[in-house]
Amino acid sequence: MSDAALLARAPRLARRASRMQASEIRELLKIIEQPGVISFAGGIPDPALFPVDAIRQHYSDILSDPASAGRALQYSVSEGDADLRDWIVDHMRSRGVICDRDNILITSGSQQALEFAAKLFLSPGDTALVTAPTYLGALQAFAASEPVFRDLDIADIDATVAQFREPADSSDCKFAYVVPDFANPSGETMDLAARRRLLDLAETLDIAIIEDSPYAALRYEGEPVAPIQALDLAGGRTIDHSRVVFCGSFSKVFTPGLRLGWVCASRDLIRRLVLIKQSSDLNAPALNQMVVARLTADHFDRQAERAQAHYRAKRDAMLEALSRHMPAHARWSEPEGGMFIWLTAGAGIDTAALLPRAIEEARVAYVPGRAFYADGRTSDAMRLSFSLPDCAQIRAGVERLAALVRQAG
Amino acid sequence: MSDAALLARAPRLARRASRMQASEIRELLKIIEQPGVISFAGGIPDPALFPVDAIRQHYSDILSDPASAGRALQYSVSEGDADLRDWIVDHMRSRGVICDRDNILITSGSQQALEFAAKLFLSPGDTALVTAPTYLGALQAFAASEPVFRDLDIADIDATVAQFREPADSSDCKFAYVVPDFANPSGETMDLAARRRLLDLAETLDIAIIEDSPYAALRYEGEPVAPIQALDLAGGRTIDHSRVVFCGSFSKVFTPGLRLGWVCASRDLIRRLVLIKQSSDLNAPALNQMVVARLTADHFDRQAERAQAHYRAKRDAMLEALSRHMPAHARWSEPEGGMFIWLTAGAGIDTAALLPRAIEEARVAYVPGRAFYADGRTSDAMRLSFSLPDCAQIRAGVERLAALVRQAG
């Protein structure tokens, strides 16, 4: 048997693989490793912020006590560590989402939560509404379920709805996916009015909302906006009747290395998601969950404040450098938090075509805008992340990038 | 919107959920917690064997060095830690599978490898060949891709092939799944002739073989049998043309808590599986992989020998107690390794119907045979695991179980 014949046995994958792009993260880790290249590409937390000493101490404590060590190293329940879920319940309540432990599932990062949402809702050919641009990893996670992607226009809900009214109807539309806080890649935050419009849209189309909010704790200015899930409940609905599936993460505040996130949703959906977790990988490592449960209890707010100060300075450095160096045809978002600035180069520049020159000549990396569109359309935009480089690198990198954009324009 | 309406938006899940049973592990952890119940139910490693001190030391060492700590707590490559993959290459080579790093993917336990195999090969309605009985967790992992299960009869390959020849053909058949070493649940090991017959079957039907071998290192007597993948290569084929997808695990020798396993397959399949890993959860936690890489390098053989001695005594205690106490209508397998004995109670006993009495009256737990059949058929068999209880509990539990079986017969 040739391997071609073996692969021909995997038609579903073959179809899907063509839609899956080489991962942002993999490619970008490679770029970062090139000496002299300043990378604005990866949405990667700064390891200088990892609370390494606290993490090491928690591993040591848990593994020093025979009872907790035995539990930490054994198979565990698919829904996740009870203490960690209880902390999440308190955290969600503090944000206006009244829920209890049965509304929480621990996932292996919020990437897994997105993949589970697709498994839960999407059959091949179903419609998923996504903003344009949207998070690349979500497109990859959803693609495995072979949906049709349609544009979600939060500013023009009527246009979004109109896609379904004639000629097609909306019965195959299953959810709308958004990153409401400091979005990846746009950096933009949905205001209260936009969140309410989205809830109205979901009501009109009778669909779920996947609210992906890994950056919420990283706000550098302005007032927090209530989660869409909280607004859904504010109308008098309980969490067990909410149409919102909220996905949270410990990757951005603590560390992405332990791969832990969560879903908050109605208990009926959680019950089904637990079955999906179980058949997917049984459970997230109990030891890692116990470590993060101890970290959150001691450190979450303090660590979030530390991260805010650290990343605020980097964001400010990037915004200042953009103002100073970019040509007039370029525009960019001014995020109130998170890790990303969305820069529109203008002047008909295809940022995907420009990337090799950016890396080879300007020695600076970014993610081309087209990676963030389900249809892979040509784009004159790019995503710039300010999370990993230091302020001096940010200034130098933006200056080099600006010269290239000016030259290409 | 009612939650019923929301769930009606998830028809695919609804179909699948009805096929997914409450997890063995979840249910059994609950049973184990009942005081006084001796559980032969879970296939759960004995925590007395966990190399806790070595694990604690490795966590401490990795997190004490800023360079390795930064790497351990950051996002990482989807294919897995290079050192760990290199150890696996050596391990597979020692078992007759000549491969290199590009043939290895690290998964979150071998459960994830099974789910990925289903994602890779199965579209809804495709056929998966499975032995009857087979591993419950595999049925759950495959069920998400909505296949048709057909019986794989290793003793009668002609009968297996005949299922396809008339009237249906085999073009929708994608793989045969086996646990060749000390199978879960039967405890049986496929001999060389059976492995060769399976390869012939795969050649005839032109399908892949999923070789799930988490227990291979736990052999208590007799000579190791070459992996099916090694036999496939022994004919002169290279790993990059092999039709076998080998799934291994660190759960049974070290600890299931770190949730690490691997796939060894052709690089074309691995490349596609890496994309699946990436869209599923990006990567297994780098820190845990680094710990297991250090454990394997120092400890694998020693730890396997320790586990062999420990579990051999438990197996012997169970076999002896079965011989001493079970009535004449009961029969059971005599496994050369692993964690399971398959006991056929005989006398028309429905072991699923008997389970409540076993727990309530005899204070002993097992997994009813019917859990291990894709069609959920009534069964007079049960799976007994000897891995967790101590020898005295095994003797007492078997005596109590035997009295119940005698009474029910």
Instruction: Kindly report, residue by residue over A269-280, the tens digit of the pLDDT.
Output: 999 999 999 999
Q: Which of A1, A15, A75 to mutate to test the interface with B (most CBs of B within 10 A)?
A: A75
Contact B121 A72 (CB under 8 A): no
Contact A268 B7 (CB under 8 A): yes
Instruction: Kindly report, residue by residue over B111-151, the tens digit of the pLDDT.
Output: 999 999 999 999 889 999 999 999 999 999 999 888 999 99
- Give the tokens for residue A69: 């060590």
Confidence of residue B290 (pLDDT cuts 50, 70, 90): very high
The pLDDT, as a whole number, for residue B29 is 45
Residues A297-304 have a mean pLDDT of: 91
Report helix, strand or coil for A251: coil
The pLDDT, as a whole number, for residue A25 is 42
Contact B73, B287 (CB under 8 A): yes
Q: Which of A2, A13, A170 to mutate to test the interface with B (most CBs of B within 10 A)?
A: A13
Residues B336-359 have a mean pLDDT of: 95
Q: How long, in residues, is chain B?
A: 409
Taking the CA of residue A310 as centre, how many other CA atoms within 13 Å lie in the half-sphere pointing to its CB? 20
Which sign, positive or negative, has the C-alpha torsion B37, B39, B42, B46?
A: positive
Q: Whole-angstrom Cα distance, residue B174 to residue B122?
A: 7
Q: Which residues on A lie below 8 Å from B119 (Cβ)? A: 12-13, 144
Q: Does A171 touch chain B (CB under 8 A)?
A: no
Q: Is the pLDDT of residue A12 over 50?
A: no
When mean pLDDT is compared across A123-127, B60-64, B396-400, the lowest value belongs to A123-127
Mind telling me how many Å the CA of A109 is from chain B's nearest CA? 6
Instruction: Kindly report, residue by residue over B13-57, the tens digit of the pLDDT.
Output: 434 433 334 454 445 446 556 788 999 998 899 999 999 999 999
Contact A322, A366 (CB under 8 A): no
Contact A12 B122 (CB under 8 A): yes
Distances (CA, A) of A50 to A11, A44, B85: 42, 12, 26
When mean pLDDT is compared across A255-269, B163-177, B323-337, the lowest value belongs to B163-177
Burial tier of A393 (Cβ tally within 10 Å: 0-12, 13-18, 19+): middle
**Percent of chain B residues past pLDDT 90, beyond the cut:** 81
User: Considering only alpha carbons, which residue of chain B is nearest residue A242?
Assistant: B3
Residues B379-386 have a mean pLDDT of: 97
Tell me the pLDDT of chain B averaged across its residues: 91
Distances (CA, A) of B4 to A122, A268, A269: 16, 9, 10
**Interchain CB contacts (distance < 8 Å): A and B:** 264
A:92-151 residues touching chain B, CB 8 A cutoff: 107-109, 111-112, 115, 119-123, 137, 140-141, 143-144
B:253-282 residues touching chain A, CB 8 A cutoff: 255-259, 266, 268-269, 272, 275-276, 278-282
Mind telling me how many Å the CA of B120 is from chain A's nearest CA? 5
Q: Does B238 touch chain A (CB under 8 A)?
A: no
Q: Does A65 touch chain B (CB under 8 A)?
A: no
Contact A153, A179 (CB under 8 A): no
Q: Which of B243, B289, B300 has the alpha carbon at shortest distance from B85? A: B289
Q: Is the pLDDT of residue A15 over 90?
A: no
Instruction: Kindly report, residue by residue over A164-197, the tens digit of the pLDDT.
Output: 865 457 789 999 999 999 999 999 999 999 999 9
Classify each residue of B125-134 as buried b or exposed e, where b means 16 or more C-beta atoms within 10 Å of its C-beta: ebbbbbbbbb
Q: Whole-angstrom Cα distance, residue B153 to residue A17?
A: 33
Q: Is the pLDDT of residue B210 over 80?
A: yes
Q: Is the pLDDT of residue A31 over 70?
A: no
- Give the tokens for residue A148: 């049709």
Measure the CA angle with vertex B339, ends B334 and B341; round to 5°. 35
Measure the CA angle with vertex A229, ends A223 and A235; round to 5°. 95
Q: Which residues on B lie below 8 Å from A47 (Cβ)? A: 69-70, 73-74
Alpha helices in A351-390 (DSSP H): 351-357
At position B42, the amino acid (one-letter code) is G
User: Considering only alpha carbons, which residue of chain A is nearest residue B108?
Assistant: A281
Q: Which of B348, B370, B368 has the alpha carbon at shortest distance from B358? A: B368
- Among B5, B25, B279, the residue with its CB nearest the CB of A75 is B25
Q: Is the pLDDT of residue A202 over 90?
A: yes
The pLDDT, as a whole number, for residue A6 is 54
Contact A78 B26 (CB under 8 A): yes
- What is the value of ipTM here, to two decimals? 0.93
Q: Which residues on A lie below 8 Å from B7 (Cβ)? A: 268-269, 272
- Among B77, B121, B283, the residue with its CB nearest the CB of A10 is B121
Three-state SS annotation for A216-233: CCCECCCCCCCCHHHHHH
Tell me the pLDDT of chain A averaged across its residues: 91
Q: Whole-angstrom Cα distance, residue A52 to residue A41?
A: 25
Contact B124, B117 (CB under 8 A): no
- Among B23, B69, B279, the residue with its CB nearest the CB of A278 is B23
User: Considering only alpha carbons, which residue of chain B is nearest residue A23?
Assistant: B278
Mind telling me how many Å the CA of B349 is from chain A's nearest CA? 30
Q: Is the pLDDT of residue A207 over 90?
A: yes
Confidence of residue B234 (pLDDT cuts 50, 70, 90): very high
Q: Is the pLDDT of residue A11 over 80?
A: no
**Percent of chain A residues past pLDDT 90, beyond the cut:** 81
Instruction: Kindly report, residue by residue over A306-357, the tens digit of the pLDDT.
Output: 999 999 999 999 999 999 999 999 999 999 999 999 999 999 999 999 998 9
User: Considering only alpha carbons, which residue of chain A is nearest residue B78?
Assistant: A26
* B70 sits in which H/E element: helix B66-72
User: Considering only alpha carbons, which residue of chain B is nearest residue A245?
Assistant: B6
**Percent of chain B residues past pLDDT 70, beyond the cut:** 91
What are the structural domains, with CATH classification, of chain A? 11-50+302-408 (3.90.1150.10), 52-299 (3.40.640.10)
Q: Which of A27, A263, A281 to mutate to test the interface with B (most CBs of B within 10 A)?
A: A281
The pLDDT, as a whole number, for residue A298 is 76
Q: Which of A254, A245, A235, A243 has the alpha carbon at shortest distance from A204? A: A243
The pLDDT, as a whole number, for residue B159 is 85
Neighbours of B117 (CB within 10 A): 29
The pLDDT, as a whole number, for residue A20 is 38
Q: Does B233 touch chain A (CB under 8 A)?
A: no
Q: Is the pLDDT of residue B220 over 60?
A: yes
Q: In DSSP terms, which residues pair with A149 in a beta bridge?
A: A128
- Give the tokens for residue B165: 């020849």
First to last CA, chain A: 53
Contact B56 A52 (CB under 8 A): no
Q: Which residues on B lie below 8 Å from A45 (Cβ)? A: 74
Q: Whole-angstrom Cα distance, residue A137 to residue B119?
A: 18
The pLDDT, as a whole number, for residue A161 is 82
- Give the tokens for residue B284: 């297994």
- Among B76, B137, B241, the residue with its CB nearest the CB of A2 is B241
Report helix, strand or coil for B210: strand
Contact A12 B63 (CB under 8 A): no
Q: Does B35 touch chain A (CB under 8 A)?
A: no
Q: Whole-angstrom Cα distance, residue A22 to residue A20?
A: 7
Q: Which residues on A lie below 8 Å from B115 (Cβ)? A: 279-281
Contact B25 A66 (CB under 8 A): no
